[in-house]
Structure 1
């Protein structure tokens, strides 16, 4: 057996074999080890469904690749993976579900996934066993279906072997040790004893340059061995198989299989199985299992069935397919399926570790296996994938997350599989948890909160006496009941003043003799002078945007870095590893500290913001301390507001006169009350994240995770003014070599009267897709919809007329100049 390889994959389910296949195809010497038999984890009892896409752009591409890849496996390996291309019918019982499917359609169109809409009559004409009188339509994907999980896994395993990979079974990994150059992985052979699989005395080591863990239900054991947190915990999933249905058997004599049927409003899927039906419900109350470890006694085992828990879903299945009412049950399954708190898998570099890659937490592992292998292999071999994989990065969940939190959120995620997934959805489990000091004050004012990285953050301020279900009932695929409140908040920023709690911002302190040279190398813009700030970007080695930073230069070699609140652990890991790399090049000592929880932030903006601060600032000359001469735009000052020390930064993400007030976290409630004690007479209003999102689009301010990501360079993002090509920086040559494949632009849209774009829609020219939106919303300044997105470079010129597809209709859109509102920044720079 080999003891030295380029890449070691741990875990022999569908995901692990998909990764081993694609690494071997890329030319890497690859070994896969599995503690039991291939497919012995969740793969063996998976239903094998292959939904082509979901609302995640990255996951949609992963699923699409898998479906296409599986169709060619038999020709390559000689093994039939058992792929039945029967299609996928998503049925809708109500208009709101159809609204969801119309948004699904937008995502599918941007990813090139074919689909069509069917009326109830068209459904009944094609599949008469399905009851349709209470349906209003369906979304149909004719190109997907289902596959045999064991067969596709074995086919990928054979393909991996043909490409030179080694696959070893009955080997358990007991430890991982990083030498600085390679991983030494300690292993033991497994033996069957009394029906249990136990480690033997036969131990050995494998040396690997890279390791990928795809350990499925054993992710918590993997986390302990690596000394990290992996919020992938299984949840029970039941499905039942019926005896043959005579009506179905008769139908199949002259007709093809039914598509996979999904009645999302009833919370189940159904497909054919040997003349009968497989029913898979996603019920409320399914418990998390193996929160800490999988028992040695659990192998290819199942849990006891809990039929009472799925009685409602079973009855709705009989309602939808009446012929099933008299059919008996043949088999039942209740097995563990891994989830994560947001439902997306964990794919990418492990936090704090070098050359350690995670592929964990797959609730749709069969669908994702091929695509995960393809895109993860690109990341490992080339440095980046061709699509932005940040939304799946394991570091999107911070170190604050506990096992209890992950288990409860994973249970919630399971029973939310078939709920309406509004773009303005906020899930309730485990909340509130992380709260800024003024949380109670904001709640009393009517704040309706969202969650970002565990932090409670006002999305908008509703009525003070709003019922507890106000936000839940306000959600919509159109303009929800929250929309008028966000409009008034946006107007306040433009006309008087607004205050935004931005405490969730990620904050790092970078200092030391090597700090200046390090940040100059890491980022593409000039560094600011002491007392000034700059917006800049850290790039990947592929020249794409890794992180956006506002850099405040406190001293000659001391910097305060501000970045997106959702990405704290992601940014911390990048900074730490990059600093280590730089010091290894004799770049001088650098200290990097995550100080996110030490500092709160209030963003105060609007024409009256200076007047508000002038009443509470403590200075020998309060009349001039906030003016342009002493406190110009894009600078910072240490000031005192009442008894609160404040690091004030003159910048506003909303594009108005304003300041970010960074304060020691323990002063948060005092400072909030102080600002409000003088603010109301100046028209001050609490403002949430939704209004802020609209306002930043009026200024064409890009957002990380939307316009900015690891699939576009800063030049493609049209951020040329923030790129200093006269200096050397990480990723510079790649930026030059890549050129401009697509370009970011802002569009004003004459859309429907009751719906704004969500940033997922296709951009069209003469009926052909030429780009996609990455952000969308409403502009109070222009009184119409607004959006940002990417198009062909020749179409990014102001005045270009395009179409945006919203609710299946094409609406007029015009590319505007960058920063259509106040393009000369006169309002931001106004003196006092």
Structure 2
């Protein structure tokens, strides 16, 4: 009989590397009254059969942070907890066959150097000197990461478990959780050995996370892939080389042909990510077994034959070795391949730390992040890339999860290009006018499941998927984006924008409460304004447009992807029994942006609304006999309106706008053009410039801070920050870029020192300049300062601009 305590502050469900790391980090944070429940033995899920690779490489800033932390933790863990552990820091070589792959490596090098890692890009000769058994004739180079390596997953888990126990945390094995209920503000978890009450619960159940999620009324968006790797017998040449060199070969990844090859003692371990991959437990005819602990799937070597042949051609000594063993086990995948770490959507005091495809490499960082979420309610790094709330209701569909999981697996090492749209799992949510804009040439991508036009192709334009596989600004879209931007500048453009997240807030005290939540002023009835929500540290949680209809009646509008994140932020801070009502009405409305100097003339033909009302006003009007809310704002930075409609009226109103606009030069424009237009105005984007990595003041948003109003969330921290010297400051840069504009997290340099990072980059078609928005050391945030932007390894001169928009700096066109 398992010895289960009756109460705990936190219960972690799942005893793999991530679950145990979560327990370890909770205890390290001083929360020692924590219990981990594991249905079998520790490591019995994906951990026991994991290959144990520990890379730091990522082109995601937050994932790189998390993996870097893991390597730092693992280096000293054995000594810290007094537990023996095999951790080999061998370094790695990531091979590049193409110009675009080498650009990706150069970008990762810049990010890694910023984080203090000695990542370097090397040529074919140096590849050969580090890995003498390799054929390099068709390679352009490689990324060398000296911190890469491999670790024994079971030893890592047991070391973390020992560390957690030594600090007072408890681990109970062979104790599955079979039910959960909410009672008196606590969770009561049922197990075969009794009940346990807790304040917080963490789902760290790995590939069984969906099963555990159901206990809490949550459908975890995930699926399970079959991943194989092959162990080879000893190779005499390798044994002799290792003995003479005194170390193992670097871990080799041929990312363009999708496999890794690692020295395993004096043999090798080959792990492919094949496109002809297989999902498991994906249909009602193939249910997940009640228990799959320490089990594997049958070998399926035929799927790997192409990769085996490619690897032996790249490293010929591999072809001399016999196969020793096949490992074919389950690995969970979320629809985008990133893990789920953070609040469980819609469930109080519940968190997720699950669905890790690279759980060993990320376990250390994941435990840190999870513990911060639970104990502090916020994380050191903005972790939106892993936040469970990034997936809304549509992603709960299992067919969608399977399609996306298989796509991610088959493209595990693929480059993510800025103009490329991944094709699987598409067409989940359509605008009411989807067919109309498709007929106009719209090319689509998914935004929180909503199909939105990114650009409009003309007959004869290359719209193939292959055409998008470049980092270059140039492409079939370049001319079209420019045409769209100039139509907005010179005449008018209309952009279909379904999926805005929209919340209805009303009731006595709503205005006063909202004022306490934002840094600035709540607009008066008939007006709309931006509200910035800060956490207790003054960091930017989110931005919402606040549309005031009455004194205590508002619509709060935010990014499509922010739907669950922002709704929960409001919901959890709403006073209990306050009489204030908060409803998510996202699915009831749609929106079109009409922007440009001719937009007033177009509207004048189809509505009797007062079109002389000032910027930042709104009014209820009729167009084509249908109601809509006409809002005098424009993210495009021109005279314009947002037209908010009920779903059922959207097509009728669009048709009226489109027909009236033809004689005025109205053209459709897409999300790529909108991004270009907003960069010229210095407008911030959610989870790029607007993230918890920066405070409201660092973000250059002090004009939205009303210092003399009563206390608001984050005020004390912002006041303290204002008394200190600023460390970072938001700036707009004009860049002498080459073929490529600055991607997210390009490093900024000044006099040979790293001084900041870009957050957005693109080409401004109205100003004919490459633009970057970024954060820079505060003393350099002075107009005219010359710096360098590292764009795919190239040092590009840039100049800090004045603190005003590059286009229409006095907002005269907006206000006209």
Bucket of the pairwise TM-score, normalised by the shorter protein? over 0.9
Alignment equivalent of 2:420, drawn from 410, 413, 425: 425
Q: Write out per-residue CA displacement over residues 189-232 of structure 1, whole angstroms, 9 at most, x where no aligned residue.
A: xxxxxxxxxxxxxx311122221111001111112101012112
Q: How does 1:33-432 map to 2 (within 5 A)?
A: 33-188=37-192, 203-255=193-245, 256-291=247-282, 294-401=288-395, 402-432=397-427
Contact 2:130 2:250 in 1 (8 A): no
Alignment equivalent of 2:689, drawn from 707, 710, 728: 707
2:504 matched residue in structure 1: 509
1:462 matched residue in structure 2: 457
Alpha-carbon distance in structure 2 between the residues aligned to 1:296 and 1:336: 14
Instruction: Tell me the TM-score normalised to structure 1 length.
Output: 0.94
The question of 1:735 aligning with 2:718 is answered yes
Match of 1:730, SS? Answer: coil
Q: Write out per-residue CA displacement over residues 429-471 of structure 1, whole angstroms, 9 at most, x where no aligned residue.
A: 121121101111111111111111000011111224546x525
Q: Write out per-residue CA displacement over residues 605-626 of structure 1, whole angstroms, 9 at most, x where no aligned residue.
A: 1111111111222x2xx6xx21
Q: Write out per-residue CA displacement over residues 542-578 of structure 1, whole angstroms, 9 at most, x where no aligned residue.
A: 3222221101111222111110111112222222222
The question of 1:583 aligning with 2:576 is answered yes
The question of 1:676 aligning with 2:658 is answered yes
Match of 1:173, SS? Answer: coil
Quick check: 156-165 or 647-656, which moved more?
Answer: 156-165
1:633 matched residue in structure 2: 615
480 and 148 in structure 1: CA distance in 2 versus 1, 3 angstrom threshold = farther
2:541 matched residue in structure 1: 546
2:602 matched residue in structure 1: 612
Match of 1:266, SS? Answer: coil
Contact 1:57 1:111 in 2 (8 A): no
475 and 616 in structure 1: CA distance in 2 versus 1, 3 angstrom threshold = farther
1:710 positional shift: 1.7
Alpha-carbon distance in structure 2 between the residues aligned to 1:124 and 1:713: 46
1:297 positional shift: 3.9
Q: Write out per-residue CA displacement over residues 694-730 of structure 1, whole angstroms, 9 at most, x where no aligned residue.
A: 2111111111100111222211111111111222222
357 and 160 in structure 1: CA distance in 2 versus 1, 3 angstrom threshold = same
The question of 1:655 aligning with 2:604 is answered no
Alignment equivalent of 2:481, drawn from 486, 495, 500: 486
Alpha-carbon distance in structure 2 between the residues aligned to 1:252 and 1:483: 51
Q: Write out per-residue CA displacement over residues 115-145 of structure 1, whole angstroms, 9 at most, x where no aligned residue.
A: 1111111111232201100111101101221
1:12 matched residue in structure 2: 15
The question of 1:807 aligning with 2:792 is answered yes
Alpha-carbon distance in structure 1 between the residues aligned to 2:276 and 2:580: 49
1:770 matched residue in structure 2: 755
Match of 1:40, SS? Answer: coil
Contact 1:390 1:710 in 2 (8 A): no
Contact 2:251 2:261 in 1 (8 A): yes
Count of aligned pairs between the two proteins: 801
Contact 1:399 1:569 in 2 (8 A): no
The question of 1:27 aligning with 2:12 is answered no
Contact 1:110 1:761 in 2 (8 A): no
Contact 2:55 2:147 in 1 (8 A): no
1:536 positional shift: 0.8
Q: Write out per-residue CA displacement over residues 345-374 of structure 1, whole angstroms, 9 at most, x where no aligned residue.
A: 111111122221110111010011111111
Contact 1:97 1:420 in 2 (8 A): yes
Alpha-carbon distance in structure 1 between the residues aligned to 2:128 and 2:334: 37
494 and 58 in structure 1: CA distance in 2 versus 1, 3 angstrom threshold = same
1:451 matched residue in structure 2: 446
**RMSD of the TM alignment (CA)?**
1.6
2:730 matched residue in structure 1: 744
Alpha-carbon distance in structure 2 between the residues aligned to 1:107 and 1:682: 47
Alpha-carbon distance in structure 1 between the residues aligned to 2:313 and 2:196: 55
Match of 1:100, SS? Answer: helix
Contact 2:767 2:806 in 1 (8 A): no
Q: Write out per-residue CA displacement over residues 375-416 of structure 1, whole angstroms, 9 at most, x where no aligned residue.
A: 221222222111112221111100222122112211111111
1:480 positional shift: 4.2
1:114 positional shift: 2.0
Contact 2:490 2:597 in 1 (8 A): yes
Contact 2:441 2:457 in 1 (8 A): yes
Alpha-carbon distance in structure 1 between the residues aligned to 2:599 and 2:190: 61
The question of 1:759 aligning with 2:744 is answered yes
Instruction: Tell me the TM-score normalised to structure 2 length.
Output: 0.96
Alpha-carbon distance in structure 2 between the residues aligned to 1:281 and 1:738: 50
Match of 1:616, SS? Answer: coil
1:193 matched residue in structure 2: none
1:826 matched residue in structure 2: 812
3 and 737 in structure 1: CA distance in 2 versus 1, 3 angstrom threshold = farther
1:534 matched residue in structure 2: 529
Q: Write out per-residue CA displacement over residues 161-182 of structure 1, whole angstroms, 9 at most, x where no aligned residue.
A: 1222111111111122223432
Alpha-carbon distance in structure 2 between the residues aligned to 1:713 and 1:179: 37
1:761 positional shift: 0.2
Q: Write out per-residue CA displacement over residues 263-310 of structure 1, whole angstroms, 9 at most, x where no aligned residue.
A: 011110110112111111111132322358631242111111221211
Match of 1:172, SS? Answer: coil
Match of 1:44, SS? Answer: coil
Q: Write out per-residue CA displacement over residues 309-344 of structure 1, whole angstroms, 9 at most, x where no aligned residue.
A: 111111111111111223211000111111111111
735 and 185 in structure 1: CA distance in 2 versus 1, 3 angstrom threshold = farther
Contact 1:759 1:787 in 2 (8 A): no
457 and 184 in structure 1: CA distance in 2 versus 1, 3 angstrom threshold = same
Match of 2:335, SS? Answer: coil
Alpha-carbon distance in structure 2 between the residues aligned to 1:251 and 1:100: 32
Contact 1:107 1:761 in 2 (8 A): yes
Alpha-carbon distance in structure 2 between the residues aligned to 1:653 and 1:632: 16
Match of 2:47, SS? Answer: helix
Alpha-carbon distance in structure 2 between the residues aligned to 1:491 and 1:114: 44
1:192 matched residue in structure 2: none
Match of 1:124, SS? Answer: helix
Contact 1:512 1:558 in 2 (8 A): yes
1:797 positional shift: 2.1
1:146 positional shift: 1.0
Match of 1:158, SS? Answer: helix
Contact 2:546 2:556 in 1 (8 A): yes
Match of 1:746, SS? Answer: strand
Match of 1:23, SS? Answer: helix
Alpha-carbon distance in structure 1 between the residues aligned to 2:778 and 2:718: 16
237 and 692 in structure 1: CA distance in 2 versus 1, 3 angstrom threshold = same
